[in-house]
Structure 1
Amino acid sequence: MPAQRVPLSVAGAGSWLIWFTAAVVYVLAVFHRTSLGVAGLEAAERFGIGPAALSSFTVLQLAVYATMQVPTGVLVDRFGPRRVLTVAALLLGTGQVLIAVAGSYPLALLARGVLGLGDALTFISVLRLAANHFPARQYPIVATLTGALGFAGNLAATVPLALLLGGPGWIVTFLFAGALTLAYAAMVQWRVLDTPNTRSQPRDERGSLSVRAIGTQVAQAWSVPGTRVGFWTHFSTMFAPMVLKLLWGVPFLVEAQGRGREQASGIIMTLVIAAMVTGPAVGAIIGRWPAARMVLVVGYLAGAVVTWSVLLSWSGVVPLGVLLPCFAFLALGGPVSTVGFALARDYNPIGRVGTATGVVNMGGFVATTVAALAIGVVLELTGGNYRLAFLAMVAMLVLAGYRLLVWLLRARAAVLAAQARGDDVPVLLRKRLWDRPAPS
């Protein structure tokens, strides 16, 4: 059976404007999240720390982010995206102001934790808003557009940020970024509507905040095979480009490859531009042909194994003609990871989409946190051997790919069984030789 082609219904201009207003908070969050990727060496000098302590900035922020994904999904389902995004903007602005004035390592760590908390509230809120405003088949396009728009924050946190740090300096640059984010919270309160017809989440769509109800909500989302596939999709595809952008890309290019700081920042920009350009195309493909989405995921994982094999086996300095295509391919992990959100949207009821999206989003950030920490520790132990340190990402890629295949087969068995019963399913499947027997 060829990939199923699904016609797209279209949301109105008002929904697009509301989505864009909300997505700007995500742009700001990405800027704050990735700013240390360029400012890492300045941070090490400013606070007098080594590689392991430097990695702790990113690890702490990402650990807070990952830990907050499921609670954020529950909060968004309960209070609505507008309120949660407003709080997110306030936390992001406060955290960046603290980063600007921090004169000690402990205070800077606290600031990154606050940033991580604000960051954690953004993406799921935007996707939950999109689920309210856009039809199911248009949702993957909006999700990938959100990611592509977020890459504008990545771009601002590469060469432009490096130039600002070299000009006005650390304090002025980060104070301005924090103040701008604090001011934008008022725009979110004014312009964002939780649904096309209501300013706040309708009462009949709000979940309970009791411990028992939250546990049930999370357990129900996790029990869905499609959610599990989404989790491992996000885990396996997103972490490599994130680790390079957030922390270890510039140090690797400067210290292991002998590149200048500005050239290294420009190479990291390749990750951002490649993902930004390909994101909408990936969204269009998985929105129009849902059966193609796991083909894209598996294809990316196979290509990532080849890419890391080339980078880590190259003797000496990797030429730009090899380095740039390798980084550009790894960048595709960002757009491909949005397949996980489409799975969460398709296989969960609308009142549980925020929670399921939180579960899926946690996957990539758990992987990023572990990889960033592992690289820092190995660098510390080996005196800066990036080839050995980056093997941690290869090991995680193999492990995650295996778990993804296990749950993909289980999810296909469940969908095939539902088709056999005559139930409606989001994507029609054709049984293959590798499919497991349907569960009885």
Structure 2
Amino acid sequence: MSPQAATARATGRSWLIWLAAATVYLLAVFHRTSFGVAGLQAADRFGVGVAALGTFTVLQVGVYAAMQIPAGVLVDRFGSRRVLTAALLFLGLGQVLLSVSWSYPLGLLARATLGFGDALTFVSVLRLVAAHFPGRQYAVVTSFTTAIGYIGNLGATVPLALLLAGPGWTPTFLAAGLLTAGYAAFVLRRVEDAPGRVRTVSGEPVSARLLSRRIVEAWRVPGTRLGFWVHFTTMFAPNVLTLLWGVPFLVQGQRLPVATASAMLTVFVFGSMIGGPLLGNVIARWPALRMPLVAGYLAGAAVVWAMLLGWPGLVPVAVLLPGFAFLSLGGPASMIGFALARDYNPMHRVGTATGVVNVGGFCATTISALSVGLLLGWTGGDFRIALLSVVVVLALGTFRVLVWWRRARAELFAAEARGEEVPVRIRRRIWDSRHRPVPVAA
């Protein structure tokens, strides 16, 4: 049930290769979040309102989600080095196109192109981590990767705002696009798919049949299905708040100044940067704690949302801040989904399984973000009702996590009984006693 490790020990060269690849993810997050501080300028430049600006975010996230499984198959076929190189070229092209865009349709095309490049990055980096690092370090290095990504998020706040106010729209985005595309030459030269001569790519031509077969193979694995629902449920709410609805909720719903609202959203950045490595170290040492930690986060998130939406009157900042700080841990918790994909799939299918898992959170983000917008329109801007859609998605995801957690445990006990190697040993509980593996199509 566990993949063959491509390496038994990480070398200094492995860390340098990871750093080069993680920098690609940093650039991707910078480009992904750059519209946050450029929204007002974009509205003036393209002559559109707030609703039309929301389309930029939904389109980009939608392209990202739609490309995750194809990206995983491409990584398994061509390797991380080539796919990361292509990602940088698309990211650079998207920003260069945005820098010279004056029409709304062309701006949408630019962000869709950027979303396509963004979609190729994270799966590629995680595939590289799986090949260069032993299983016990996977969660730690993955958490370091996400922490580096949040540095890109920070770069897309005050520094980018200063550049837009100084040199302006075209020079800023043009320079960012050209530098990103230029970095592709370094990645192509320095990144290696696996240590030494170890072969970790499938070598099969990419076709619709291969794509379907790989998806089915990965989806049949209960650990992959569990990872999908873990990612679906843990990371969507922080995304919905930081990418689109956080500032409107705080400004229009809670009557906070724009500067205060923007500053409060940095809680999500710092919470993830600190929480990611801490959580990664915990689950690397005690992998059996992975799902109990997910369950604890989901229970806590339900309490936070009940408090935010049920508070009489305006919610005090002293309540909002710790609530947001707890929700920020959803990003680090979602990394557990990738660890499950890595542990329960053979190395040649890890990229595809990782893509399947990564679809979860961004599908939930898209569904929830669109639902909030529709409900705001129908209720005349009532955030209490609109944000109930977040609670509904959270409840659905939590139910599916519990279903597949139990089924994955049953598969693990069955593998142990057959004498197979298992990625983590867990103790049988009373709720496992009469549960047997069931067909995964259920």
One-letter identity of the residue aligned with 1:439 = P
Q: How many Å apart are 1:117 and its aligned residue? A: 0.2
Between 409-418 and 420-429, the greater mean CA deviation after superposition: 420-429
**Residue 196 (str. 1) matches residue 195 (str. 2):** yes
Deviation at 1:290, TM superposition (A): 0.8
2:105 is the counterpart of 1:106: yes
Aligned residues: 431
The one-letter code of the counterpart of 1:432 is: R
- Structure 2's unaligned 5+ residue stretches are 1-6
Quote the offset at 1:315 in angstroms. Answer: 3.4
Q: Indicate yes or no: 2:265 matched with 1:265.
A: no
**Alpha-carbon distance, 1:166 to partner:** 3.4
Cα deviation, residue 185, structure 1: 1.1
What amino acid sits opposite 1:119 in the alignment? D
Residue 244 of structure 1 pairs with residue 241 of structure 2: yes
Partners of 1:255 and 1:169 lie apart in 2 by: 28
> Which one-letter code corresponds to 2:436 in the other structure?
A
- The 8 Å contact of residues 158 and 266 in structure 1, kept in 2 or not, is answered as no
**Contact kept? 2:228, 2:357, Cα under 8 Å:** yes
- Give the TM-score normalised by the residue count of structure 1: 0.93
Q: Distance in 1 between matches of 2:380 and 2:39?
A: 18
Query: Partner letter of residue 115 of structure 1?
Result: L
Q: 1:344 to 1:395 in 2, by over 3 A?
A: same
Question: Is the CA contact 2:79–2:201 (under 8 Å) kept in the aligned structure 1?
Answer: no
- Single out whichever of 280-289 and 314-323 deviates more from structure 2: 314-323
The counterpart of 1:437, out of the listed 432, 435, 438, is: 435
Question: What is the aligned partner in structure 1 of residue 334 from structure 2?
Answer: 337
**Aligned position for 1:92:** 91
Conserved? CA contact 2:201–2:348, under 8 Å: no
Q: Residue by residue, what CA displacement relative to the aligned partner does 1:53-77 show, whole Å, maximum 9, x if unpaired? A: 2221111111111111111011001
Matched, 1:220 2:217: yes
Shift of 1:204: 6.8
CA distance in 2, matches of 1:269, 1:206: 43
Residue 236 of structure 2 aligns with an amino acid whose one-letter code is: F
Give the equivalent residue in structure 1 for 2:147. 148
Q: 8 Å contact 1:9–1:137 — kept in the other structure?
A: no
Shift of 1:203: 8.0
Deviations 1:109-159 (A, max 9, x none): 111110110000000000001111001111111111111110101111223
- Indicate conservation of the 8 Å contact 2:92/2:178, yes or no: yes
* Partner of residue 307, structure 1: 304
- Partners of 2:231 and 2:149 in 1: CA distance: 17
Separation in 1 of the partners of 2:74 and 2:8?
A: 29
Q: Which position in structure 1 is the counterpart of 2:370?
A: 373
- Is residue 297 from structure 1 mapped to residue 332 from structure 2 by the alignment? no
The CA distance in 1 between the partners of 2:322 and 2:66, in whole Å, is 33
DSSP 3-state at the match of 1:150: helix
Q: TM-score normalized by structure 2?
A: 0.93
- Residues 418, 203 of structure 1: alpha-carbon distance in 2 compared, 3 angstrom cutoff: closer
The secondary structure found in structure 2 opposite 1:102 is: coil
Equivalence map 1:1-400=2 (5 Å) = 10-198=9-197, 202=199, 205-400=202-397
Structure 1 vs Structure 2 CA RMSD:
1.9
Q: Secondary structure, in 3 states, of the residue corresponding to 2:387?
A: helix
How much has 1:351 moved relative to structure 2? 0.4
Letter in 1 for 2:154: L
Structure 1: where are the runs of 5+ without partners?
1-7
SS at match of 1:422: coil
Assess if the C-alpha contact under 8 Å between 1:304 and 1:329 holds in 2: yes
Q: Which moved more, 1:268-277 or 1:387-396?
A: 387-396
Q: Is the 1:37–1:250 Cα contact (8 Å) retained in structure 2?
A: no
State the one-letter code of the partner of 2:185. Answer: A
Where does residue 423 of structure 1 map in the other structure? 420
Identity among equivalent positions (%) equals 61
- State the AA in 1 paired with 2:252: E
